[in-house]
A = this chain, B = another copy of it.
Amino acid sequence: MAKETIAGLAQRLGISKASVSYALNGQPGVSELTRRRVLDLADELGWYPSSSARALSRSRAGAVGMVLSADPLLIGTEPYYMGLLTGIETALAEGDTALMLRMVGKDPEQERATYERWAGERKVDGVILFDHRHDDPRPALLERLRLPFVLHGAPATEGAAPRSGTTTDHALDAATIVDHLHRAGHRRIAHISGPRSFLHEEARIEGVQDRAGRHGMSVTRYEADYSLDSGRDAALALLRAGEGITALVFGNDLMSMGGLLAMRAIGLRCPDDVALVSWDDSLHCELASPSVTALARNPGLQGRVAAELLLRLLDTGAVQTARMPAGDLIARSSTGALP
Q: Which of A79, A120, A283 has the most CB of B within 10 A?
A: A120
Known contacts A79-B76, A99-B100: A123-B51 contact under CB 8 Å: yes
Known contacts A48-B117, A50-B122, A103-B89: A145-B56 contact under CB 8 Å: no
Q: A284 near B: Cβ within 8 Å?
A: yes
Contact mask for chain A residues 36-71; partner B; CB cutoff 8 A; 1 contact, 0 none: 000000000011111111111000010100000000
Q: A82 near B: Cβ within 8 Å?
A: yes
Q: A7 near B: Cβ within 8 Å?
A: no
Residues of B within 8 A of A82 (CB): 75-77, 82
Q: A287 near B: Cβ within 8 Å?
A: yes
Q: A237 near B: Cβ within 8 Å?
A: no
Q: For the complex, what is the distance from the CA of A269 to the CA of B174, rounded to whole Å?
A: 38
Q: When the two chains form their complex, are residues B51 and A122 in contact, meaning their CB atoms are under 8 A apart?
A: yes
Name the interface residues of A111-169: CB closer than 8 Å to any CB of B: 116-117, 119-123, 145-146
Q: When the two chains form their complex, are residues B101 and A99 in contact, meaning their CB atoms are under 8 A apart?
A: yes
Name the distance in Å between A312's Cβ and chain B's nearest Cβ.
Answer: 21
Q: A90 near B: Cβ within 8 Å?
A: yes
Which of B79, B100, B104, B122 contacts A98, CB < 8 Å?
Answer: B100
Q: A195 near B: Cβ within 8 Å?
A: no
Residues of B within 8 A of A121 (CB): 48-51, 54
Which of B46, B98, B288, B300 contacts A123, CB < 8 Å?
Answer: B98
Known contacts A77-B79, A98-B100, A289-B289: A52-B46 contact under CB 8 Å: no
Which of chain B's residues has its CB closest to A80's CB? B76
Q: A15 near B: Cβ within 8 Å?
A: no
Q: A257 near B: Cβ within 8 Å?
A: yes
Which of chain B's residues has its CB closest to A60's CB? B52
Interface residues of A (CB under 8 A from B): 2, 46-56, 61, 63, 72, 75-77, 79, 82-83, 85-86, 89-90, 93, 98-104, 116-117, 119-123, 145-146, 228, 254, 257, 260-261, 282-284, 287-289, 300
**A-B residue pairs in contact (CB < 8 Å), sample of 14:** A2-B119, A47-B120, A51-B123, A52-B53, A52-B56, A52-B61, A55-B55, A76-B82, A77-B79, A86-B103, A90-B103, A93-B103, A93-B104, A284-B284
